[in-house]
Structures are given as structure tokens and as C-alpha cells.
């Protein structure tokens, strides 16, 4: 009998690593050629020439990656009542249940297409070498705001596609179900102090709801009455699904197969990232009616089982074939391309990209795991970005002081590590989704500004401390 992914944590891990690797390679090569395209005209050739104090080479890729991660957001991120992991696609689409593919797109492709370390490298090196501090500060601000704006545009595009898919009548029903789930969620939060009257719950869940219902057609009012009488939400009344980037990182924990403990941590991280407390078992005791069945025993994975699993999933099999093809193509390009050094560097970067992406994915399990008043911090994403900046600084010091001694291949590999490994280790797309999510809590807290300032300030401080000496000493 074929081993299914849900029965084997090893199989889930292997499939996840395949998707992360192939999508990371796609992200690296897209970022490299996109950055090259926008400066083609600067040397007198054809194509555009974007250059100036506020422009950095990876700005277009950071914007594109942020847009795509918004486009592939989950339904709960968009405020939809229907539980869809990818709001862009119909509810019955097979990609909705392929969590490894979702991790590949969000964490692998978008995370590797966008880069935090290279963003700082392109702005801080000229600032330190040529005193271009105002330009660097403006470039950091423009880069952050451009990525946030692109992410918001991606969310809006996903909403537009969802509206086109479901139709106007279903949208009204989804809106009513969402408001009902909000009120049930508030009831659960107020259970200890007694339930609020229905009218107060309605106002707290959606202050404008009475006006909306009053001015909507009679069909919506009747729908509101039927939903509350015939189709109440679950007692715990959570909101539909996990957040856009957070659900990919939480599902990554589950895909890594750490058993019950890891699954619980993944759920906790996902719900915290989505602005919700972790879901409990709903008070159902062991052996009680309706209790969840125990997880199936772990299945031992063999090579034959792995092959059978790939034959049963065309998406996973295609990912493995593409990974082999891209790796072979990059290897050939690295070995045979001797006319253009920049192109050979791109192929080397493609080979190094999966390693950085997988390390970032592993670090993501530490998101929201700090204790005390810092439990809100996505420590994994922050650590990945700071680690990538640190490595970039160290390599740039070598290039600054020992460029001639490094030789042709030394310079090529140092540059490839910066672009491929560090570019994939660090991410802007996940960073901006977290900033936007935190901004929803303003004015209750200002974690969005704290997190953004920590990340931008930390990256700049690392460059001053680790790279500045190589110029000023």
C-alpha cells in the first residue's frame, strides 16, 4: 500500500525540501535576470536604465515577490469566511490541500525572489564608501514602502479574483458567515464573564453591521436570520484559516515531522501570526463523544514508497524533475559559460539558493517562540535576515581588502554566496507580511513600527560595525 504524506513525517519532509529547493532556484534566477534587465540600457545597449540614489538593483524583485505573496494569501488574511489556503484558487482546487507546494511558493519562491541582505548591501556599501547616507536612508524607506504597497496590491488582486470566482450572491453569504463567526469568537472570549447580548456582540464584531443590514436587500436580512437559526458556527468560533505568510511557516513546521509537539507548535505559531490565540481541543476530553482520533502510527519510508508517492502526485513529481533539470542546467552554465562572468555568477547563485532558503525555513520555527513581552516577535525571520546581513558584511570585507588575492573564481564564488545563499536566506516578502499584520493592532500596540525599526536599524548597525572598519581603518 502506498505511503501517504500524512502517514510519514519523513515523506512530508522530503517533499517539502524538494518544493523549497526548486522554487528557491526559480526565485534566485528570476531575481538575477530581473535586476539585470532594468540596467541593460545603462551601458548604452537596449532596454531600460534605472539608476539613481533611491534605486537599488533588487527593488523590482522585492516588489514582485511581495505582490506574489499577497496574491497567494490565505482566505483569512483577506477576511473571507470560506476556509481556503489559497484564496486565489477555487475551494476544490488540488493545490488547496498541497501544503508542501504552498510552502514552496511562499517560502521558497517569494522568499528567494525578495532579498533583505542584498537590499542593504546595495545601499550601505556606497553610503560607507562615499558618504551617501541620505541616499541610503531614503532607499531603505522607499524599499520598505514599495514592498508594503506591492503586498497590498497582491491582496487586492486576490480579492478581485475571489469575487470573480464565487459570484455576487455567494459573496454576500460569505460576508454574513464571517460576521457570524466573529460574533461567536467574541462569545468564546467573553465566556468567563458571561455572554454579551446579541446586539452588543454584533456591534463589537462589526460596528457598521446594523447600517449594512438595514440598507442591504431583504434577501441578506433573511440570510442573516437563517444562518443564526440553522447553521451556527462551531462553539469555539475561530476565523477561517491562517495568515498568508504565517500559515506557510506554520505548515512548514508540521511538514518537518516533529510529531505532536511540533504540530502543536506549528498551530500555535500560525494562530499567533494570524492575530488569534492558539485553538484548543474545544474542551473535548479523551474518550468523549466527538473526540479527535489519535494520529496514525508513523510509517517507515522506503525508496519504493517514495517513488510510489511521486507517481501518485503529479505536482510533486514535476517539482522533482524540475529540480533535477535546473540543477543540471546551472551546473552546465557554471562550467561552460566563460564569456560573461555575470552569467556564470548567476548559475553559481542558483546552485546555492536552496541552501539559504532551507535554512530560513528551518529558522522560521522559532517565530513567536520567545518568552515574556517579546513573544510576539517573529524571531526566526528576524534572525534569518540579520544572519544573512552578517554574512554579506563579512564577504564584502574580503572583497574590499583581498579582491585581487581572491582571484577570478574566488570573487565569483564570494559574489554568488552573497546573491544566492544570503539572498535566499533573507527575505522581504515575509518581513512585510508580518509588518502589515502587526499594523492591524495599532493603536493597541505598535509592534509594526518596533519590528520594522529593529530590522532596518539592525541591518544598518551590522554594516557599520562589520563592514565600516574595512573602509575606514
Taking only the tens place, the pLDDT of each residue in 262-295 is 444 444 444 444 444 344 344 444 444 555 566 5
Tell me whether residue 374 is in a domain: yes
Tell me whether residue 33 is in a domain: yes
Bond into 443 cis (ω within 30): yes
How do the residues of the chain divide into helix, strand and coil, expressed in percent and rounded to 5? 75, 0, 25
Tell me whether residue 385 is in a domain: yes
Q: How far apart are the first and last CA of the chain?
A: 66
Residues 375-430 have pLDDT tens digits of 999 999 999 999 999 999 999 999 988 988 889 999 999 999 999 999 999 999 99
Dihedral of alpha carbons 173, 176, 177, 178, sign: positive
How far apart are alpha carbons 190 and 281 in whole angstroms? 18
Give the chain's residues under pLDDT 70.
1-7, 41, 43-45, 52-53, 166-303, 305-306, 312
3-class SS at 453? helix
Tell me whether residue 330 is in a domain: no
User: Alpha carbon 320 to chain centroid distance?
Assistant: 22
pLDDT of residue 193: 43
Tell me whether residue 403 is in a domain: yes
Tell me whether residue 13 is in a domain: yes
- CB contact burial 122-160 (16+ within 10 A = b; e otherwise): bbbbbbbeeebeebbeebbebbbebbbebbeebbebbbe
Tell me whether residue 412 is in a domain: yes
Cα angle 41, 47, 48; round to 5: 70
Cβ neighbors of 72 (< 8 A, separation 6 or more) are 86, 88, 102, 105, 106, 110, 154, 158, 244
pLDDT of residue 179: 63
Tell me whether residue 427 is in a domain: yes
- Total structural domains in the chain? 1
Q: What is the mean pLDDT of the chain?
A: 78
Host domain of residue 367:
5-166+308-323+335-472
441 φ/ψ angles, rounded to the nearest 5 degrees: -90, -5
Amino acid at each position: 500500500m502506498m505511503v501517504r504524506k500524512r502517514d510519514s513525517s519523513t515523506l512530508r519532509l522530503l517533499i517539502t525540501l524538494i518544493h523549497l529547493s526548486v522554487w528557491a532556484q526559480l526565485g534566485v534566477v528570476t531575481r538575477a535576470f530581473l535586476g539585470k534587465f532594468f540596467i541593460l540600457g545603462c551601458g548604452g545597449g537596449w532596454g531600460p536604465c534605472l539608476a539613481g540614489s533611491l534605486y537599488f538593483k533588487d527593488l523590482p524583485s522585492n516588489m514582485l515577490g511581495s505582490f506574489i505573496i499577497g496574491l497567494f494569501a490565505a482566505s483569512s488574511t483577506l477576511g473571507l469566511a470560506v476556509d481556503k489556503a489559497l484564496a486565489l484558487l477555487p475551494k476544490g482546487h488540488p493545490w488547496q490541500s498541497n501544503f508542501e507546494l504552498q510552502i514552496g511558493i511562499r517560502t521558497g519562491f517569494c522568499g528567494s525572489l525578495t532579498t533583505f541582505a542584498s537590499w542593504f548591501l546595495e545601499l550601505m556599501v556606497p553610503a560607507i564608501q562615499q558618504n551617501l547616507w541620505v541616499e541610503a536612508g531614503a532607499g531603505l524607506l522607499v524599499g520598505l514602502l514599495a514592498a508594503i504597497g506591492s503586498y497590498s496590491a497582491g491582496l487586492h488582486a486576490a480579492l478581485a479574483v475571489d469575487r470573480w470566482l464565487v459570484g455576487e450572491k455567494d459573496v454576500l453569504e460569505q460576508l454574513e458567515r464571517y460576521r457570524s463567526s466573529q460574533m461567536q469568537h467574541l462569545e468564546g472570549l467573553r465566556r468567563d464573564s458571561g455572554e454579551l447580548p446579541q446586539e452588543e456582540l454584533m456591534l463589537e464584531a462589526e460596528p457598521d453591521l446594523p447600517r449594512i443590514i438595514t440598507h442591504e436587500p431583504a434577501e441578506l436580512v433573511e440570510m442573516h436570520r437563517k444562518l443564526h437559526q440553522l447553521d451556527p458556527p462551531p462553539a469555539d468560533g475561530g476565523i477561517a484559516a491562517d495568515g498568508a505568510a504565517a500559515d506557510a511557516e506554520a505548515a512548514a513546521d508540521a511538514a518537518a515531522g516533529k510529531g505532536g509537539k511540533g504540530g502543536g507548535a506549528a498551530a500555535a505559531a500560525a494562530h499567533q501570526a494570524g492575530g488569534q490565540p492558539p485553538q484548543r481541543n474545544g474542551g473535548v476530553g479523551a474518550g468523549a463523544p466527538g473526540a479527535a482520533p489519535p494520529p496514525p502510527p508513523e510509517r517507515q519510508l522506503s525508496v519504493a514508497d517514495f517513488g510510489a508517492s511521486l507517481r501518485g502526485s503529479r505536482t510533486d513529481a514535476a517539482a522533482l524533475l524540475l529540480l533535477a533539470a535546473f540543477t543540471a542546467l546551472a551546473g552546465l552554465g557554471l562550467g561552460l559559460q566563460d564569456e560573461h562572468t555575470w552569467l556564470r555568477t548567476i548559475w553559481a547563485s542558483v546552485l546555492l539558493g536552496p541552501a539559504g532558503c532551507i535554512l530560513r525555513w528551518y529558522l522560521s520555527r522559532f517565530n513567536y517562540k520567545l518568552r515574556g513581552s517579546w513573544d510576539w516577535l517573529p524571531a526566526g525571520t528576524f534572525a534569518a535576515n540579520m544572519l544573512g546581513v552578517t554574512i554579506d558584511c563579512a564577504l564584502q570585507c574580503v572583497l574590499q581588502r583581498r579582491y585581487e588575492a581572491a582571484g577570478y573564481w574566488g570573487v565569483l564564488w564570494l559574489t554568488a554566496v552573497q546573491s544566492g545563499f544570503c539572498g535566499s536566506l533573507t527575505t522581504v516578502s515575509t518581513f512585510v507580511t508580518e509588518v502589515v499584520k502587526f499594523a492591524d493592532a495599532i493603536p493597541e500596540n505598535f509592534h509594526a513600527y518596533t519590528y520594522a525599526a529593529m530590522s532596518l536599524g539592525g541591518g544598518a548597525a551590522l554594516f557599520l560595525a562589520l563592514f565600516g572598519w574595512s573602509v575606514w581603518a
